[in-house]
């Protein structure tokens, strides 16, 4: 695999303990990785930008302009877990993610359905994937505007609020580039799991046009 990634982890709200594990895991996927909590400068150097459990209002006006420009010139954006809790007051960012975080029950094990087996982020999975995480619910169901790859079966855990076909990971063309979001990634242990790492690597391959 080839490509250069920027992993951005600035937080203005809740800060996940799993961020260091996530940074380490992404650094071991086979891509060249830079990690920052500073300004989003010179994004044109990167094949994809990863927002790893960012939260709250973290972007300056210059950062926002840089991100919009980056997507507009064909860039790829990957949001992981709490990225959906970021920049609630910026509508463009909400569209980039695809859905806004609403709430979650306690961490527990549940079973996901793989809705698309033809995507590099999911083709390594069986039809059903059992996983332990913090199962995010969203303020609105994004299914009509994104390509859903994974959904969680709410009958397999306690506290679900979105009903059947609860989306967990999705992708789409956006703003001139590509956007991919996965709600997985709350626990540090999850980032050591080979299936999770393949999920993330496949997301980056899709964002960078490396579909195989």
Residue 211's pLDDT is 66
Q: Is residue 34 part of a domain?
A: yes
Q: Is residue 188 part of a domain?
A: yes
Task: Look at phi and psi of residue 165 and say left if phi exceeds 0, alpha if psi is from -120 to 50, else beta.
Answer: left
Instruction: Return per-residue pLDDT of the chain as tens, 212 residues.
Output: 678 999 999 999 999 999 999 999 999 999 999 999 999 989 999 999 999 999 999 999 999 999 999 999 999 999 999 999 999 999 999 999 999 999 999 999 999 999 999 999 999 999 999 999 999 999 999 999 999 999 999 999 999 999 999 999 999 999 999 999 999 999 999 999 999 999 999 999 999 998 65
- For residue 163 the two structure tokens come to 């009903």
Strand (E) or helix (H) holding 177: strand 177-182
Residue 9's pLDDT is 98
Q: Where are the alpha helices (DSSP H) in 1-56?
A: 19-27
Domains held by the chain: number:
1
Q: Is residue 73 part of a domain?
A: yes
Contact 112, 153 (CB under 8 A): yes
Nearest to 149 by CA among 167, 132, 164, 166: 167
Q: What is the CATH number of the domain that holds 77?
A: 3.40.50.880
Q: Where are the alpha helices (DSSP H) in 46-89?
A: 61-72
Q: Is residue 153 part of a domain?
A: yes
Domain that holds residue 120: 4-207
Q: Is residue 212 part of a domain?
A: no
Q: Is residue 106 part of a domain?
A: yes
pTM, two decimals, is 0.97
Residue 3's pLDDT is 86
Residue 1's pLDDT is 61
Contact 142, 63 (CB under 8 A): no
């Amino acid at each position: 695999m080839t490509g250069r990634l920027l992993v951005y982890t600035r937080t203005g709200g809740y800060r996940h303990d799993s961020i260091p594990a996530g940074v380490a895991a992404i650094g071991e996927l086979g891509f060249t990785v830079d990690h920052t909590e500073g300004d989003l400068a010179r994004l044109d150097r990167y094949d994809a930008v990863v927002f790893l459990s960012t939260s709250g209002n973290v972007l300056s006006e210059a950062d926002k302009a840089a991100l919009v420009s980056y997507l507009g010139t064909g860039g790829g954006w990957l949001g992981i877990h709490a990225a959906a809790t970021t920049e609630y007051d910026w509508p463009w960012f909400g569209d980039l993610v695809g859905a806004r975080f609403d709430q979650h029950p306690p961490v527990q094990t549940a079973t996901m359905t793989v809705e698309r087996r033809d995507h590099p982020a999911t083709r390594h999975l069986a039809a059903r994937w059992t996983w332990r995480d913090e199962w995010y619910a969203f303020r609105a169901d994004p299914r009509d505007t994104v390509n859903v790859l994974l959904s969680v079966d709410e009958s397999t855990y306690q506290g679900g609020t979105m009903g059947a076909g609860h989306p967990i990971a999705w992708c789409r063309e956006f703003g001139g580039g590509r956007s991919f979001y996965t709600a997985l990634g709350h626990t540090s242990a999850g980032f050591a799991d080979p299936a999770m790492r393949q999920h993330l690597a496949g997301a980056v391959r899709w964002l960078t046009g490396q579909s195989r």
